[in-house]
Chain A
Amino acid sequence: MNLLEVSNVSKTYGSGEAAVKALKKVSFSVPKGEYVAIVGESGSGKSTLLNMIGALDTPTSGKVVISGKEIFSMNDRKLTIFRRRNIGFIFQAFNLIPELTVEQNIVFPMLLDYQKPDRKYLEELLSVLNLKERRNHLPSQLSGGQQQRVAIGRALFTRPALILADEPTGNLDSQNTSEVIALLKEASKKYEQTIIMITHSRSIAQTADRILQVSDGELTDLGRCRE
């Protein structure tokens, strides 16, 4: 069963002569638990596509269905709750809350959903992310790699079906990049989560189950690359 179905999604910015077609009738689907990498040049439309999937932006036409639900038919309130429970975000710039500790940053989305954080799962995540020793540290006291691991923890904590990562290793050195990618893969496997990741790096893309390429607003499926 497909977790994500993107059908004929187009996005045009501006109108008339100034119109820019960022996405042109893009369609693809992703089954549950798959780890997908999206590659493409700068300005090719890959971030726009990720924003559409994450319901951060609305398409000019087409539809996006996640777990059988068409996300753009929901009102803002429902969409927020849906996003909160079903989609986890990982940003290139980490975007952690500087005032909160590692542990507090990870459980924060759960608090937004008025749920009591699952302590056992938190311990497990901290262990997987290798952050146990750093649980009471503030983001400013962490390295870039550690901060991104916290961001991954935050994205995983609500057990979302879909994790969207926009160049999660863009700000990291090669060692941290390897660690983060390994973590994402492990999570995808262990928790059966679908991961869609934007990357510029061909080598990182090679670690994914499947690679999609966006070029000039059009999507090409480069197929499976993992054994």
Chain B
Amino acid sequence: MKSYLSLVSISGKVRKRQNRMTIFCVIISVLLVTTIFSVADMWIRASSEGLQQKHGNWHIRLENISQDTAEEISRHPDVAAIGWSETFNTDGDQPFYIGEKKAALYGVDSIYLAELVNALEEGALPQGDNDVMLSSNARLALDVKIGDHVTVKTPSGDTDFTVCGFGSDDAEYYQGQTYMVAVYMMRDAYISIMEQNHIPINPSCYIQFQDVSKASDITSEIRQQYNLPEGDISENTAIMGLAGQSSNESMKNIYGIAAVLFVIVLLAGVLMISGSMNSNVAQRTKFFGMMRCIGASRQQIIRYVRLEALNWCKTAVPVGVVTGTAIEWGICAFLRYGIGGEFATMPVFALSPVGLISGATVGIVTVLLAAQSPAKRASKVPPMAAVSGNSDTVLSVRHTTKRKIRKVERTLGIHHATASKKNWFLLTASFSLSIILFLCISVGLDFAYELMPSVNRSWQPDITLTGYANERVLDQGLSDAISRITGVELVWGSSYTEHVPAVSSQQEIDHVNITSYSEYMLDCEDESLVQGNISEIYGDSGKVMTVLDKDNPIKVGDTIQVAGQEIEVVCGISSGLYPGEYSIICSQETFARLTGEENYSMIGIQLSRQATDETVKQINSLAGSNVIFTDERQRNQEDANSWLAAKFLLYSFMAIIAMITLFNIINSISMSVTARIKQYGAMRAVGMDGEQLTRMIAAEAFTYAVSGLIVGSGIGIVLSRFLYVKLVTRYFGSQWSLPVVLLAIIVVFDTVSAAAAVYAPAKRIRNMPITATINEL
């Protein structure tokens, strides 16, 4: 024994049973952080690959900059690569063809294709002006292979190319459709075609940084140095977002929420450990008093308690980290094999340095933070506590209880809970935090649900047929023909026309974009109705609905003059088929009256279980080449998987938080009973029976539960409303309402937790001989 601090490890070995609870609290905190960070790390790894594949590996895009400026920027030490790309006819609205299909033309350089977008799937990248790389759907749409010759037809003439490879910089856009093919050619060839057709050239410059973590700073630097207007710089939001570098408003909101949730989890850990340590210290008042008597300074006591806490970390951190990693593997395996989709590439048995380090670091930091209050409390134990034999709980009672002593055991129980204000605060805060987290996470679920409209739309199609540029080229006859194909469950039509001049009761509205919904779609929209009554929309009613999002100035109650006819906005939904800006949605009949058009812009098809590849082929053949055919099934499946994963992760998170709360209250009541065991022994000796004892402990537990419920629900409801308005109402229009069901679940959980906390300690003390409780110290 070289130092007084050696007592920490000696005591740790002897007091294993007493320390078990606190160590368990630390383990839970560490494993929670390790699991969350590790799963997030694995998800980011999997997503990064997927997102790079989908959106490219560039970080920012600059418009309207000269070749010279770009060259200067490329010499910046933090810039890894610069590539050029320009696109034409990606909407397919111009008469540019490859074979019989619409051609989207891309003029690119090799850096862009090879380094910035990982475009190549098969073959080679274009090297000369006669080479082209085609999007993969060209294999089916044009029946071509590498080495074949293809002709790009333009209004000013044709140009022949050789197919050197397949691939694209936006695989998702071309996947599942055969109406349009992407044609990637070298920039000189592209410029030549554009010049022939008298189309101005305006390439975009794509920049990849050496270190994405500095992307935000370097972008600002470049913007200032070259005086680039705000609108000329755009970022690869997905890639920058994952690196925490996005300047996108929505991403910033998400970062903020992630930070708030992280702080809440950290606080929950601190409160849990702190509560446990406080009880641990409270049990040893006499010991600390004796230490002070024989010469330990306050600072030495603080150091002792801190070191004791760190000593627990020796066991708790490795156990927490290992358990957290095992849970992470389980979650990753479930996401990969159980859910699949975008999680199919998720590593399962990978170790996450971020998770391991943050688990250990946050564990130690949490413990040190949590030790702060008990350490100070221990240091304030007067040396008198050793000689007088009085515990701190007795000393801290400065006044008698003012409550009427009718049921003395209940009065005493409540008094035990409220006597130490700090302990009461810590336990109330622990309960409250869990309740606040419950309420906030439920908003997260609502947000995730709204983010994936395909999950919540009953009319979500498996296949869509769309007119180029939303032209109304699909007639009722086609819809009827498709509905007769075996394997087709349901067919609906929708028309769309934009920029229709309008006069509104609101001054800032000078045009509207009108969408028609079929009766089936209107029936289904009842689910996403936010405001008003949808039944008024049906038929030639002249009543319309709108999409309630932040970009749409049209509100329920507005009256709008369109084509000389007055229409009234009678209800609002959270999301529509087309973008929400200036959007009004009406029945097919009202649409025909307002626009004189009866054809559809889009036909949506839902397939039955009997559907086969033949069904899809038949629909495709009916669609013809002037219609965009899109198979949405894979995307729908991916959305469903993502929703399932979001639910799984958020519910798991809620379950863990619930577990922490439950454990915390059980632990705290158990420790509180242990700390007062002598007092309880004395009470039993003077005639308190087992039931009274249980009621006394229950009164203490329920005092914490009720105060936690009141504070947690109060703050949680305000925070839930705030988050809901920020995330859901702002983007999807839905209004917040009091989460009554959730609150009821919380009350039940709260009550059950308190009841569970009473059971074991009450049983323990009832079964203990009175003499043992009196003599125990």
Q: What is the CB-to-nearest-CB distance from A107 to chain B, in angstroms, rounded to a whole number?
A: 7
Residues of A within 8 A of B387 (CB): 47, 50-51, 54, 56, 89, 91, 166
Is A95 a contact of B290 with CB atoms below 8 Å? yes
Is A56 a contact of B293 with CB atoms below 8 Å? yes
A108 at the interface (CB under 8 A from B): yes
Is A77 a contact of B297 with CB atoms below 8 Å? yes
**CB within 8 A of B292: which of A50, A80, A99?**
A80
CA distance A30 to B722 in the complex (A): 71
Is B7 a contact of A85 with CB atoms below 8 Å? no
Can you spell out 5 A-B residue pairs with CB atoms less than 8 angstroms apart? A51-B384, A77-B297, A89-B386, A100-B10, A104-B1
CA distance A54 to B319 in the complex (A): 45
Additional A-B contacts beyond A80-B298, A113-B295 (18; CB < 8 A): A54-B293, A56-B383, A57-B384, A80-B292, A83-B383, A85-B295, A91-B293, A91-B387, A99-B10, A108-B4, A109-B294, A111-B1, A112-B4, A112-B291, A112-B294, A112-B295, A112-B297, A112-B300
Residues of A within 8 A of B95 (CB): none
CA distance A170 to B293 in the complex (A): 19
A129 at the interface (CB under 8 A from B): no
Nearest opposing residue in chain B for A89, CB measure: B293
Q: What is the CB-to-nearest-CB distance from B306 to chain A, in angstroms, rounded to a whole number?
A: 16
Residues of B within 8 A of A93 (CB): 389
Residues of A within 8 A of B292 (CB): 80
A124 at the interface (CB under 8 A from B): no
Residues of B within 8 A of A83 (CB): 293, 295, 383
Nearest opposing residue in chain A for B2, CB measure: A111
Nearest opposing residue in chain B for A166, CB measure: B387
CA distance A68 to B13 in the complex (A): 44
CA distance A47 to B291 in the complex (A): 19
A98 at the interface (CB under 8 A from B): yes
Please list the residues of chain B having a beta carbon within 8 angstroms of any beta carbon in chain A.
Answer: 1-4, 6-7, 10-11, 13-15, 286-287, 290-300, 382-384, 386-389
Max chain A Cβ within 10 angstroms of own Cβ: one of B11, B296, B298: B296
CA distance A88 to B384 in the complex (A): 14
CA distance A47 to B387 in the complex (A): 9
A20 at the interface (CB under 8 A from B): no
Q: What is the CB-to-nearest-CB distance from B20 to chain A, in angstroms, rounded to a whole number?
A: 16
Residues of B within 8 A of A95 (CB): 286, 290, 293, 386
Interchain residue pairs A-B with the least CB separation, the first 3: A84-B295, A111-B4, A99-B14
Q: What is the CB-to-nearest-CB distance from B477 to chain A, in angstroms, rounded to a whole number?
A: 91
CA distance A95 to B384 in the complex (A): 12
Max chain A Cβ within 10 angstroms of own Cβ: one of B10, B293, B389: B293
Q: What is the CB-to-nearest-CB distance from B288 to chain A, in angstroms, rounded to a whole number?
A: 11
For A161-190 the 0/1 string (1 means CB < 8 A from B) is: 000001000000000000000000000000
CA distance A51 to B387 in the complex (A): 8
CA distance A56 to B15 in the complex (A): 28
A204 at the interface (CB under 8 A from B): no
**CB within 8 A of B7: which of A84, A89, A100, A109?**
A100
A128 at the interface (CB under 8 A from B): no
Nearest opposing residue in chain A for B4, CB measure: A111
A154 at the interface (CB under 8 A from B): yes
Residues of B within 8 A of A99 (CB): 7, 10-11, 13-15
Is A89 a contact of B11 with CB atoms below 8 Å? no
Nearest opposing residue in chain B for A113, CB measure: B295
Is A56 a contact of B382 with CB atoms below 8 Å? yes
Residues of B within 8 A of A74 (CB): none
Q: What is the CB-to-nearest-CB distance from B699 to chain A, in angstroms, rounded to a whole number?
A: 29
Residues of A within 8 A of B7 (CB): 97, 99-100, 108
CA distance A129 to B496 in the complex (A): 101
Nearest opposing residue in chain A for B379, CB measure: A76
Residues of A within 8 A of B14 (CB): 98-99
CA distance A109 to B1 in the complex (A): 12
Q: Given the known A-B contacts A89-B387, A107-B1, are A76 and B298 also in contact in the complex, defined by CB atoms under 8 Å?
A: yes
For A61-97 the 0/1 string (1 means CB < 8 A from B) is: 0000000000000001100110111001101010101
Is A97 a contact of B295 with CB atoms below 8 Å? no
Q: What is the CB-to-nearest-CB distance from A64 to chain B, in angstroms, rounded to a whole number?
A: 15
Nearest opposing residue in chain B for A85, CB measure: B295
Q: What is the CB-to-nearest-CB distance from B312 to chain A, in angstroms, rounded to a whole number?
A: 15
A158 at the interface (CB under 8 A from B): yes
Q: What is the CB-to-nearest-CB distance from B19 to chain A, in angstroms, rounded to a whole number?
A: 12
Is A80 a contact of B386 with CB atoms below 8 Å? no
**CB within 8 A of B295: which of A56, A98, A109?**
A109
CA distance A158 to B11 in the complex (A): 23
Nearest opposing residue in chain A for B3, CB measure: A111
For A96-137 the 0/1 string (1 means CB < 8 A from B) is: 011110001001110111100000000000000000000000
CA distance A158 to B293 in the complex (A): 13
Q: What is the CB-to-nearest-CB distance from A75 to chain B, in angstroms, rounded to a whole number?
A: 11
Nearest opposing residue in chain A for B8, CB measure: A99
Residues of A within 8 A of B291 (CB): 112
Residues of A within 8 A of B296 (CB): 80, 84, 112
Residues of B within 8 A of A84 (CB): 294-297
Q: What is the CB-to-nearest-CB distance from A200 to chain B, in angstroms, rounded to a whole number?
A: 16
Max chain A Cβ within 10 angstroms of own Cβ: one of B290, B299, B387: B387
Q: What is the CB-to-nearest-CB distance from A169 to chain B, in angstroms, rounded to a whole number?
A: 15
Residues of A within 8 A of B13 (CB): 99
Residues of A within 8 A of B300 (CB): 112
CA distance A84 to B1 in the complex (A): 19
Residues of B within 8 A of A107 (CB): 1
Q: What is the CB-to-nearest-CB distance from A184 to chain B, in angstroms, rounded to a whole number?
A: 17
CA distance A76 to B3 in the complex (A): 22
Residues of B within 8 A of A154 (CB): 294
Q: What is the CB-to-nearest-CB distance from A188 to chain B, in angstroms, rounded to a whole number?
A: 19
CA distance A107 to B2 in the complex (A): 10
Q: What is the CB-to-nearest-CB distance from B744 to chain A, in angstroms, rounded to a whole number?
A: 49
Q: What is the CB-to-nearest-CB distance from A100 to chain B, in angstroms, rounded to a whole number?
A: 6
CA distance A100 to B15 in the complex (A): 12
CA distance A88 to B422 in the complex (A): 33
Is A108 a contact of B384 with CB atoms below 8 Å? no
